[in-house]
Structure 1
Amino acid sequence: MKNLILVGQPNSGKSTFFNALSGYKALTGNFPGATVTYQEGELNLFGRIYKIVDLPGTYSLIPQDKAELEAKKFLVKHKDATIINIADSSVLARSLELTIELIELQRPMVLALNMIDVAKRKGILVDEKKLEKLLDIPCIPTSAKRGRGVIEVIRAANKNKVPENSITLKFQKDVEDVIQSLAKKIPSEAIKELSIPARTIAIRLLEEDKYYVKTIEKYDKNIKNHIEKAKNKLEKHHGKEAKFVIAAERHNLAMSIFEQVTTFSKNRETISLGDKIDNFVLHPFLGYIILIAVIYGLFSIIFNVGAHFETLILDKFDLLSKYIETSISNKMLSLTLIGLVQGVGGALGIAIPYIVPFLIGLAILEDTGYMARIAFLADSIMHKIGLHGKAVVSFVLGYGCSIPAVMAARNLENTRDRVITAALSVLIPCSARTVIIFGLVGFYIGKWYAIALYIVNILVIGIIGRILTRIDKKLVPGLVLEIPEYHMPVLKNVLIKTWIRIKDFITVVLPLLIVGSIIMVYMEHYSVDTIINSALKPLTVYLLGLPEKVGTTLIFGIFKKELSLMMLFQALGTNNLGTVMTHTQMFVYAVFTLFYIPCISTIPVLYRETGKKATTYVIFGTLILATILGFAARLLGIIIF
C-alpha cells in the first residue's frame, strides 16, 4: 500500500481533491494524543491500493495552532509517504511559500496546480514545465472540482520524485552562510531521527520551531546557545528578528519563482465578477440584509419541503399502524410491528423531510464560498460578545451538528475562548433541533414563529456569551480570514457532503428511533411510562404546563434531539399534535428542547475538549437555562396565543 499525504493551504481545494479521490468512503481519525482530526480514505488505481490522508489546512509548517502542529508532526514522522501539495493556482505566489517549506523536507513530492481554470479566468497563465525544472518535482495542472488532472497527480506520485537537485531554492548568501554554520552544529543522531536535511533543521531552529528545538536538545543541551548566536548574527545584519528574515527570504523566493513561470493575459478583468459581488455581499449594511434574505430563503425551502412531506408520509404510516392494530391478534407481535412502523414513519415523515433540504442548503453555501463570508460578517458580532472572530466557525458548524462545532473550538488560541465557544456552540440549533423547530412550531403554528425561535436563540447565546466573557476579560484580537473565490456548486460534491452528514442519522438515529418506538409502545402497554412521567411531572406539568405524557420524550431527546419530537407523536398517540397540544404548549416544548442538555454523543466530545468541570457546568447550566426560558415561553404564550 502506498501512502499519500495531501497538504495545502486553507481554501486551496484540498478537500475537494480528497473527495475526488476517495468520494464519500472517508473515515475521520484523530492524531495520536490529540483531538485534531484528519480525513483518511483509500483508492484502488493502477493495480495498487493507495492510502490517502487529508491533513488540516495550513499556511506554514511553523505551527500557529494545534491543527498546524499536528499536521507538521504527521509529515515529519511519515518519512516514506509521498506528499501531494495542493496549491491554489489563482494565488500561486502565496501558495508557493508552503511549497518551498515542503520541498525543504526532501521527501517524494508532487505539486498539484489546483484551480487552474480559475487562474485562467483571472488571466494568469502558469508554465508548469518551467516550474517543474525550477522546483525539481512533478507539477500537474488540476481542477479537482471537475476531476481534471487528479489521476495524473497519482500517476506522478508513483515516481517517488525527491526534489534533491533543485539549485533555485536557496536564500541570499549571508543567510545561507548562517544556516550552513548552524547546520554543522546539529548532532547526526538528531538528523537521523528527523530524517530531514540538516539545512532544513537549521532553518526551523532559526524560525523558533519548538518541536525541532526540543528534539535537538535530547542530543545537545547547548543547542540553544548555537541558535542564539546564529539568530543574533542575522538580526544584526538585517535589522529584524531571524524568523522574519527567513520568512522574507522564502516570500522573495516564492515571488521570484512566480514571476518566472507566469504570464498575464491582456484581456483579464481588472475587477473580477466575484469582487463586484463582494461589494454588496460584504457591505457593512447591505451584507447583513443579504444574509437575512439568504437565511430566510433557506428556512422557507426547508419549511415548505418538510411540511409537504410530513403530512403526506405520516398519514400513510398512521393508516398502516391502525391496520396492524386491528388485523393482528397476537398482542406482542402487534405491539412490535406498531413500534417499528411508527419509528420508520417518524424518520421518513418528520426527520428526513427537514434534515435533507437543510444539509443540501448548507453544502451549497459552503461550496459557493458564501459560508466564509458569513463568518466575515459575524466577526464584529463575535467581538461584541467578547470572543475571537474564529469562534464564528464553531457557531456556523453548530447549525449542522454540535460535535464538529465543539471540536472546531480547539483552534482558538487560549483556553478561555475555547471553553466558552464550545459551551455556547451546544446551544446552536443543530439539524436535529431544526427538525423540532420546523416540524412542530413551523408546521403547527407558522414559519414566522419558527424563525422567531432562531432569533431568540441568537439573542440568548449573545447574552450568555457576554456574561461569560465579562467574568474573564481578555483583549480580543482581530480575525484574519481568507475569503475564497466564488464557485458554482457541483451537484456531485453537494450530494457527497449531504450523504456524509446524513449517514449518521441513517446508521445511528434510525435504529435508535425504531428501538425507542418499540420500547415506548411496550412502556405504554405495561404503564412503565406513567412512572417516568410522574417523576418528571413537577418540571413538565407544574413549571412548563406541558401534557404529563411528554416526560419520557425528553429522556429520549438526550440520546438524539430529533427523537424527542418523533417520540412525542407516539407518546401522545396521534399523528396530529394540534388535536392534543395547544400552541403555547408546542412553543414551550420547542424552547425547552432547543436549550436543554446536549445529546449524549456531544457530551464525551465536550468532556474531551473542555474537561470535566466545564462539561458538568454545561449539562446542568443548559438544563436550568431551558427550564427558565421554557417557563418564560409559557407566560409569553398565554399572552400571544
Structure 2
Amino acid sequence: MEEGEEDVDLVVGLAGNPNVGKSALFHQFTGIGVNVSNYPGTTVEIAEGEIEYEDKTIKLVDLPGVYSLRAVSEDEWVARRAILELDIDVVIDVVDASNLERNLYLTLQLVELGIPLVVSLNQYDSALEKGMRINPEILSEKLGVPVIETVATRGENVSEVFVKALKTGIKGEKPERRIEMGRDLEESVKELSEVIGNMDSEPSIPPRSLALMLLEGDEEVLEKLPEESRDEIIRKKEECSKKIEKQHEEEAEFRIARERHGIASLISEEASERVEAEPLLSEKISRWTTEFKTGIPILVGVFFGLLTFLIFGGGFLEKHFLAGWNSLVEPPLRNVFDMISPSSQVADVLNIGINKGMKGILAVMFPYLPPFFLLLAVLEDSGYLSRMAYLLDSTMHKIGLHGKAVAPMLGGFGCNVPAIMATRGMTDRRQRLISSFLITLVPCSARTAVILGTVGVFVGVFPALVIYGIIISLIFISGLVLNRFLPGETSGMVMEMPPLRKPMLRPVLSKTWNRLKEFIYVATPLLILGSLIIGVLDVSGIMNSLVDPLSPVTSGLLGLEPIVIIPLIYGVIRKEGALVLLMSVTSLGQMKGLQLFVFALVVAIYIPCIATFSVLRKELGWKEAIIISLSTILLALAMGGLFYHLNPLGLQT
C-alpha cells in the first residue's frame, strides 16, 4: 500500500464489519476501474482506487472486513496493520444501521485510537424497513465524530461522506470526546497509560489505547514499545491486569470487551427508536433460503440453473465466436503465414500455434469464463453464499469440516488458488488440510470451461451434469476418508448471516473483470506459446517420441488417442490449456462421445494447475502438496479408466 503514495495527497481507508456495504461505497467512489493487489508481505488482496478531486489526488483503500482490531486471521491483520501503522490519513467506518450495536464495537476501538474518523451509517433504508430509526446527530454526539446516513447501493449521501472524510483527513480532526469505561477499570487503564506516557520516545498509538490493547493481551503491540521501557511497562501491565481480575472476577481482556459491548449497546439504544414496519419480502425469502425443506431445493436449483446457463449461453457464444473467426480471420491469417515463409513447415507451425491456439481460446475462455465470474459475483454480493454455508453445515461436519469451509470451497468454483488461501480462516491445521485437499477437487472455472466446452457442447447437458455429480461424490467420499483417518475433531461454527440484498452493478462488474483479467493477461500468452511448441514438436516429428511411451495410459487405460497425452500433461500447468491444446492436436468433432467424456472427467479431477501446487506447498508444505497432487492424478486416471471400460452412460464409442 505504500508504493506510489508519494504521488497522492490523502489516503482514505474504508473499514467496517463484513457485509456492511464497504465495497458498494468504495465502488460508488471509484467506479469500475480499481486495482486489486496483495497487501505487502501477505497474500491478502485489497482493492485500491484513485480519485482526482479538485486539485488533489485521493487514494481509497477498501480494507478487509473485521469485527474488531484484535487480529486472528491474516485479512484481519491487514486491516489492523494499515490502521495502526498510520498508512491511512482518515478512516471511513462503514456501519450497518440495521445492526448498529454489533457494529459499534469496532467504531469504539477506532475512536479510542484518536484517528481522523467519519462514520457512514449505511443501509439506513434497511434499518427503517426493519422498524428502526437512528438519529445520526445523537450518534455523532455520543461518538464525537461525524456521522452521515447513507444508502450506498443507491448512492444516497455518498458524496457527502466522501467530502466530509477529505476535510477531516486534511485538517487531521480527531474524535472530539473520549468514551470512558467503568471507574474501576479506567483507574487501572490510567495507571498503565501514565507509565507508557513517560517513555522517552512517543508511541504512534495514544497511550490510553495502547494500554487497553496491552490489557487485552495484544502481544503485537509490545513491539511498538522501546526496549529500555518494555520490562517496566510489562510489569505494570501485569499488576493492572491482576487488579482488574480481582475487582471483577474475570480476566482483564474479557472485562474490557464486556464494557465496550455495554457502551455500544447503550449508545445504540440512545440513538435509536422503534417505528412501525411491515414484514419485508426479503425477510421471507431469506427464511426460505435457510430453512432445510425449502433451502435445499433452492440451493440445488441455483446450482443447476448456473450450469444450465453456462452450458447453453457459453455454447451459443462459442459457436458464434468460432464462426466469426473461421470466416473473417482464419483465411487472411493463413495467407499471412504463407507470405511470411514460403516453407510449408513454418506456416504449419504458425497455423497450429496462432490460428488453432486462438480458436481454442475463443472456444474456452471467452464463452464460459466471463459469464461464470459474473454469476459468481452476483451470488456473493446478494448474500446468498452465506446461506449456502449455513445449509451445508451439518453435511460438512461429516467430512471433518464446518459450514465456514463452504465459502472457500464455493470460491474454488472460481479459482482454487485464492480458495486454498481462504482456508487460513479455519480453526486448526486438520481442517485446513482436509479443506485444501477437497478444494483441489472442486471444478474451478477453467475446468468448468473444459467440461462445458467438450461434453456440454458435443455430448449433451446430462453427461456434463454427471461429471459434476461424480466430482461432488468424490469430494464427499474423500472427506469421509480424511475425517476418519486424520486425528482430531471438528469444531462448531458461529457465522454471520448478512441480509439478502440486490447486487450493485459496478461492484459485480469490477469483481468479474478483476478475476477475468488474469486469464486474459497471463493465460493467453502461455496458451499461444504452448500451441507454438506443439506445432514445432508436430512438424519436427519429435511428438511421436513423447507420445508413444505413454500410449498404454492414454489409449490402453483411457481409450484416447495417444496424442492426447500432450494436452493432458499441459493441463498440470494451466487447466484451460488442456482443451485449447486438445483443439491444436485433434478435432473435437471427430472424437467419440465416450472419449470426450473421459477426457473431461480426467481433466476435471487432477490437480488444476501449477499455481495450485505452489499455493499448497506454501500453505501446507512440500510433503502435503506432493501427496495431494499425486492423489488427484491417480484418482483421475482411476475414474477415467473405470468409466471408459464400463461406459455406464452408453456413450458413443
How does the TM-score come out when normalised to structure 1? 0.93
Q: Aligned-pair distance for 1:373?
A: 0.8
Q: Which amino acid aligns with 2:50?
A: E
CA distance in 1, matches of 2:417, 2:493: 23
**Could you tell me how far 1:123 is from its partner in structure 2?**
2.9
Over 3 Å counting, the alpha-carbon distance change for 1:471 and 1:223 in structure 2 is farther
Q: Does 1:272 align with 2:305?
A: no
Provide the residue aligned with 1:163 in structure 2: 174
1:534-553 alignment runs, 5 A limit: 534-553=548-567
CA change 1:546–1:208 in 2 (3 A) is same
- The alpha-carbon deviation at position 298 of structure 1 amounts to 1.2
Cα distance in 2, alignment partners of residues 282 and 15 from structure 1: 25
The corresponding residue for 1:150 is: 158
Give the alignment's Cα RMSD to 1 decimal: 2.4
Cα distance, 1:152 vs. partner? 2.2
Residue 337 of structure 1 deviates from its aligned partner by 4.8
- 1:182 match: 192
Shift of 1:322: 6.5
Find the counterpart in structure 1 of residue 498 from structure 2. Answer: 484
Shift of 1:484: 0.9
1:305 CA displacement: 0.8
Residues in 2 aligned to 1:226 and 1:317: alpha-carbon distance in whole angstroms: 75
Work out whether 1:433 is the aligned partner of 2:447: yes
**Residue 79 of structure 1, CA deviation:** 5.9
One-letter amino acid of the structure 2 residue matched with residue 439 of structure 1: G
1:102 lines up with 2:110 in the alignment = yes
What is the aligned partner in structure 2 of residue 211 from structure 1? Answer: 220
Instruction: For residue 19 of structure 1, report the CA deviation from its aligned partner.
Output: 2.5
Structure 1: distance between partners of 2:419 and 2:575: 16
**Distance in 1, Cα, partners of 2:89 & 2:209:** 18
Cα-to-partner distance string for 1:318-356 (whole Å, 9 max, x where unaligned): 456467658947333464256323222222233321222
Mapping of residues 404-483 of structure 1, within 5 Å: 404-483=418-497
Question: How far does residue 64 in structure 1 lie from its aligned partner after superposition?
Answer: 2.9
Deviation at 1:102, TM superposition (A): 0.6
Distance 1:334 1:542 in 2: 30
Q: Deviations over 1:200-247 (max 9, x none)?
A: 122112211122245448433254443333233323333333222211
Give SS of 2:610's match.
coil
- d(CA) in 2 for partners of 1:31, 1:301: 35
Measured against aligned partners, the alpha-carbon deviations of 1:558-610 in whole angstroms (never above 9, x if no partner) come to 232111112212211x3xx242x222211111111112233123232222222
- Residues 108 and 162, structure 1, Cα contact 8 Å, conserved in 2: yes
In structure 2, give the amino acid aligned to 1:595: I
Q: 1 CA distance for matches of 2:334 and 2:283?
A: 63
1:377-426, CA deviations, whole angstroms, 9 ceiling, x for partnerless residues? 12222111012332212101000111111110112222222233223212
- The CA distance in 2 between the partners of 1:605 and 1:20, in whole Å, is 33
Q: 2:508 aligns with which of 481, 490, 494?
A: 494
Tell me which residue corresponds to 2:594: 584
CA 1:11–1:565 in structure 2 vs 1: closer, same or farther (change >3 Å)? same
Deviations 1:234-285 (CA, angstroms, capped at 9, x unpaired): 233333332222112111211221122222322x13x433331132211123
Do 1:435 and 1:562's aligned partners in 2 also have CA atoms closer than 8 Å?
A: yes
TM-score scaled by structure 2?
0.91
Q: 1-side partners of 2:33 and 2:383: how far apart?
A: 24
In the TM superposition, what is the alpha-carbon distance from 1:469 to its structure 2 partner?
3.0
Shift in Å, 1:46:
2.5
CA distance in 2, matches of 1:163, 1:260: 23
Report if the CA contact (8 A) 1:187-1:220 is conserved: no
Deviations 1:32-73 (A, max 9, x none): 443333333322223211222222111011223232233222
1:239 is matched with which residue?
A: 249
Specify every segment of 5 or more residues in structure 2 that has no aligned partner in the other structure, as ranges. Answer: 1-7
- The amino acid that maps onto 2:176 is N
Shift of 1:11: 0.4
> What is the CA distance between 1:164 and its match in structure 2?
4.1
Q: Given the alignment, which residue of 28, 51, 61 partners 1:53?
A: 61
* SS of 2:403 mapped into structure 1: coil
CA contact (8 A) 1:106 1:162 kept: no
1:263 aligned partner, one-letter code: E
Distance 1:543 1:594 in 2: 17
Aligned pair count reads: 633
CA contact (8 A) 2:192 2:233 kept: no
Separation (CA, whole Å) in 2 of partners of 1:531 and 1:470: 44
- Partners of 1:310 and 1:350 within 8 A in 2: yes
Note the C-alpha offset of 1:545. 1.6
Which stretch of structure 1 is more off in the superposition, 401-410 or 554-563?
Answer: 554-563
Correspondences of 1:341-420 after superposition (within 5 Å)? 341-420=355-434
Query: Which one of the candidate residues 13, 30, 37 is aligned to 1:29?
Result: 37
**Residues 324/178 of structure 1: CA separation in 2 closer, same or farther (3 Å cut):** closer
Over the matched positions of the two proteins, sequence identity in percent amounts to: 36
Match of 1:289 among 290, 297, 301: 297
Distance of 1:419 and 1:146 partners within structure 2: 42
Q: Is the 8 A contact 2:134 2:271 kept in 1?
A: yes
Superposed displacement of residue 510, structure 1:
2.1
Query: Which deviates the most, 345-354 or 52-61?
Result: 345-354
Bigger shift: 432-441 or 129-138? 129-138
8 Å contact kept, 2:438–2:475: yes
What amino acid is the match of 2:645? L
Give the structure 2 partner of residue 138 of structure 1: 146
2: distance between equivalents of 1:148 and 1:342?
50
**TM-aligned CA deviation for residue 435 of structure 1:** 0.7
Give, as a single letter, the amino acid of the residue that structure 1 aligns with 2:423: A
Counterpart for residue 75 of structure 2: 67
After superposition, the C-alpha distances for 1:99-131 in whole angstroms (9 at most, x for unaligned) are 000111111111111222222322322222232
Aligned: 1:254 with 2:264: yes
Spell out, residue by residue over 1:81-107, the C-alpha distance to the aligned partner (whole angstroms, 9 max, x if none).
Answer: 211111111111111111000111111
Counterpart for residue 5 of structure 2: none
Q: 2:205 aligns to what SS in structure 1?
A: coil
Paired AA for residue 626 in structure 1:
A
